[in-house]
Amino acid sequence: MIQVGFRFLEHTADVYVEAWGPTIGKSFEDAALALFEVMIDTSTVKPTKRETIVVEARDKHELLYKWLEQLILKFEIDNNVYSRFQVEKIEMRWKIFHLEATIYGETYDGERHPSRVGVKAITYHRMAISERKGKTTLRFILDV
Amino acid sequence: MATSIFQNVPSGLGSRRKDFRVSGAELDKIALEGVNWLIEKRGLGWPEDPNYCEENGFMKNADPEKVSKTAKDRGESQIGTLGSGNHFVEIQKIDKIFDTQTAKAFGLMEPDQITVMIHTGSRGFGHQICSDYLQVMERAIDKYKISLPDRELACAPASSNEAEDYYKAMASAVNFAFSNRQAITHWVRQSFEQAFHAQADKMGLKVVYDVAHNIAKIEEHAVDGSIKKVIVHRKGATRAFPPEHPAIPSAYRSVGQPVIIPGSMGTSSWVMVGAPHAMDITWGSTAHGAGRMLSRTMAKKSFWGNEVKKELESRGMVVRAASSVVLAEEADPAYKNVDEVVQVSHDLRIATKVARLVPLAVIKG
């Protein structure tokens, strides 16, 4: 299996994603790409706009939830879509996890970005984060 | 006609309105007063419309102060938009009437009469409220020492401040959803007026009923022989109150509450009526639709959006869709047979058949 990537698992009503990478940061990047792949064809997105995202959480599950939620909000409120994600750091300070990332994309344009299904929310249902030596695998369900 | 609705009601991924946006203060009014505000202040509907809506178009205990700014930001451009996924507007005709007297009370007079079904909800506004309160409830489970089998089931005791705040926020989302459907009703009427050069009221485009299918309500039910106040959460379920229930609009009180069961794309949909047995076995509820059988992934592997569209068109249907991927995901074979689902409800006497509707045109997200 390739080192980084994601795939969609079987789930009757919603979208069940598995994403993986050599580090938790890389796996979070794939999770983000999977999220936008549900909504659009990310190969059509030009990474011209650059933004910074900062997320804080009490544990890694919450960190994943809030990271993806921020990205949904970037789409829903700012009307942007993204195709490149770079997690700069994930660290723990005073028992709180901090994530900082740079994301690249552009304004959503229905003409240039053929649409798929909208993601309404990320859920904790069956969310799993498994960290083994050299490989982190994430599983989560998107409410569509 | 379908093209006109497709143009007048934004649908699909990230659908938002450019011609109709509400300010933060106006959104608070919608959250508080529901469809009444839209009708009175913005003219999006007829004065009698709220009479044919669950809760007369607004839940009284809503409090927009319990809703985050993020949720409001998501909601501002989404009143009168369809969204994507399984949401739709369908132009239908009555195929067969099963209960003539009740159908007449609902305004469903005869076969071939045209109906319009609208299926959408509280959009990003409601989803953000859910997401925000999930965080609140996550803290509450520590505070109240609750252990859970799945983190998504985060909760708090019904009498806690957390639960009360949530209920007020949820009621705001319900009012948003009623208003969203009301606004779409208005633009559907306008589309008919544009297409037929006649007035909507002259064409008889009255609201049959508007009812939620994902909602928590505080209701009174018989439990172990006595009447108790309970929270009924209808998720993928819809209310089916029997005749004489005080929550039913007076025009329908003698026959029972209209129950709307949308079928999958290209198949029939149903209007049923709530029956007394629902109060005995299902807290006054029934199923709200066909329910998926195939995952979206499987559906996409099995069908092509363009073929789904062609197949529907070959049966005389008009299809206007924002996304061909959604057409594949929503293809009819991905869903259970709605006629069988309806039959179960009918046989159990929780909601009984009134009329079967067949699609003429579908507008999809």
One domain for residues B144 and B173 = yes
Taking an 8 Å cut-off on Cβ atoms, the answer to whether B13 and A116 are in contact is: yes
Is residue B96, in this structure, part of any structural domain at all?
yes
- A37 in a domain, yes or no? yes
Reported ipTM: 0.90
- Establish if B6 belongs to a structural domain: no
B134 and B26 share one domain:
yes
From residue B323, alpha-carbon distances to A12, A72, B11, B65, B347 in Å are 20, 19, 9, 36, 37
Mutate to test the interface with B, among A77, A79, A109, A142 (most CBs of B within 10 A): A77
Judgement on whether residues B168 and B153 belong to the same structural domain of the protein: yes
Query: What distance in Å separates residue A2's CA from the closest CA in chain B?
Result: 21
Residues of A in contact with B128 (CB under 8 A): 73
Cα distances (Å, whole numbers) of residue B105 to B203, B204, B299, B301: 18, 14, 39, 44
Question: Is A2 among the domain residues?
Answer: no
- Four-point Cα dihedral B165, B166, B169, B170, nearest 10: -150
Closest CB to B74 among A9, A10, A76: A76
| Domain of residue A47, residue span | 15-143
- Single residue among B210, B245, B261 that ends a domain in this structure: B210
Residue A55 domain-assigned (yes or no)? yes
Suggest the residue from B131, B292, B329, B335 to mutate for an interface test with chain A (most A CBs closer than 10 A): B131
Q: Do B152 and A123 touch (CB under 8 A)?
A: yes
Is there a single domain that holds both residue B58 and residue B156? yes
Interchain pair B124, A62: CB under 8 A: no
Last residue of a domain, one of B210, B228, B250: B210
Write down the catalytic residue from B197, B221, B288, B346.
Answer: B288
Same domain, yes or no: B301 and B313 = yes
Mean pLDDT along residues A114-132: 94
Q: What is the mean pLDDT of chain A?
A: 95
The answer as to whether A130 is a domain residue is yes
**What's the pLDDT tens digit per position in B44-58?**
999 999 999 999 999
Q: Is residue A102 part of a domain?
A: yes
Same domain assignment for residues B71 and B91: no
Q: Which residue in this structure is represented by tokens 């995202």?
A: A53
What is the pLDDT at residue B365? 86
Q: Which residues in chain B are closer than 8 Å to A110, comparing Cβ atoms?
A: 12-14, 322
Within a domain: residue B227?
Answer: no
Q: Is residue B1, in this structure, part of any structural domain at all?
A: no
**Minimal Cα–Cα distance from B73 to chain A, Å?**
6
pLDDT at site A2: 63
Q: What's the mean pLDDT in A58-75?
A: 97
Task: Please check whether residues B172 and B306 belong to one and the same domain.
Answer: no
CB contact under 8 A, A9 and B151: no
Q: How many structural domains are present in chain B? A: 2
Q: What is the pLDDT, as a whole number, of residue B291?
A: 87
- Domain match, B108 and B182 both: no
Whether B218 is in a domain gets the answer: no
Average pLDDT, chain B: 96
Residue A4 domain-assigned (yes or no):
no
Asked if residue B117 lies in contact with residue B90, where contact means CB atoms within 8 angstroms, the answer is yes
Whether B288 is catalytic: yes
> Does A73 sit within 8 Å of B292, measured CB to CB?
no
Domain match, B33 and B155 both: yes
Asked whether residue A1 carries a pLDDT value surpassing 80, the answer given is no
Same domain as B193, residue B266: no
Q: What is the CATH number of the domain that holds A60?
A: 3.55.10.10
User: Per-residue pLDDT averaged across B261-287, rounded?
Assistant: 96
Asked if the structure places residue A62 within a domain, the reply is: yes
State the Cα angle at B320 between B205 and B43, rounded to 5°: 35
> For chain B, where are the alpha helices, taking DSSP H only?
2-8, 24-33, 35-42, 69-75, 100-105, 123-143, 161-196, 277-281, 296-302, 305-314, 324-329, 338-348
Q: In this predicted structure, which of B14-28, B123-137, B256-270 has the lowest mean pLDDT?
A: B14-28
Interface of A with B in 9-28 (CB under 8 A): 9-16
Residues B293 and B144 in one domain: no
For the segment B92-118, the average pLDDT, to the nearest whole number, is 98
Q: Which residues of B163-201 are buried (b: 16+ CB within 10 A; e: fewer)?
A: bebbbbbbbbbbbbbbbbbbbbbbbbbbbbbeeeeeebe
* Average pLDDT of the residues in B78-87: 93
Test A143 with B13 for CB contact under 8 angstroms: no
- Domain count across chain A: 1
For the stretch B169-191, pLDDT in tens is 999 999 999 999 999 999 999 99
For residue B8, is it within any domain? no
Q: What are phi and psi of B321, to 5 degrees?
A: -130, 140
The pTM assigned to this predicted structure is 0.95
B313-361 pLDDT, tens per residue? 999 999 999 999 999 999 999 999 999 999 999 999 999 999 999 999 9
Question: Residue A108: closest CA among chain B residues belongs to which residue?
Answer: B14
Chain B nearest-CA distance from A26, in A, is 24
Question: CB–CB of A115 and B295 under 8 A?
Answer: no
Within 51-80 of A, beta carbons closer than 8 Å to B belong to: 61-62, 69, 73, 75-77, 79
Give the pLDDT confidence score for residue A12 in this predicted structure: 85
Mean pLDDT computed over B100-121: 98
- Residue pair B42/B199 in contact (Cβ under 8 Å)? The answer is no
Lookup: tokens for B182: 């009301």
> Could you tell me if B130 and B45 lie in one domain?
yes
User: How far is the alpha carbon of A17 from chain B, nearest alpha carbon, in Å?
Assistant: 11
> Where in the sequence is the domain holding B109, given as residue range(s)?
84-119+236-365
Would you say A119 and A41 are in contact if contact means Cβ atoms under 8 Å apart?
no
Contact, B246 vs B195, CB < 8 A? no
- List CB contacts of B305: < 8 A, sequence separation 6 or more: B321, B323, B324, B325, B326, B327, B328
Q: Is the CB of A120 less than 8 angstroms away from the CB of B150?
A: no
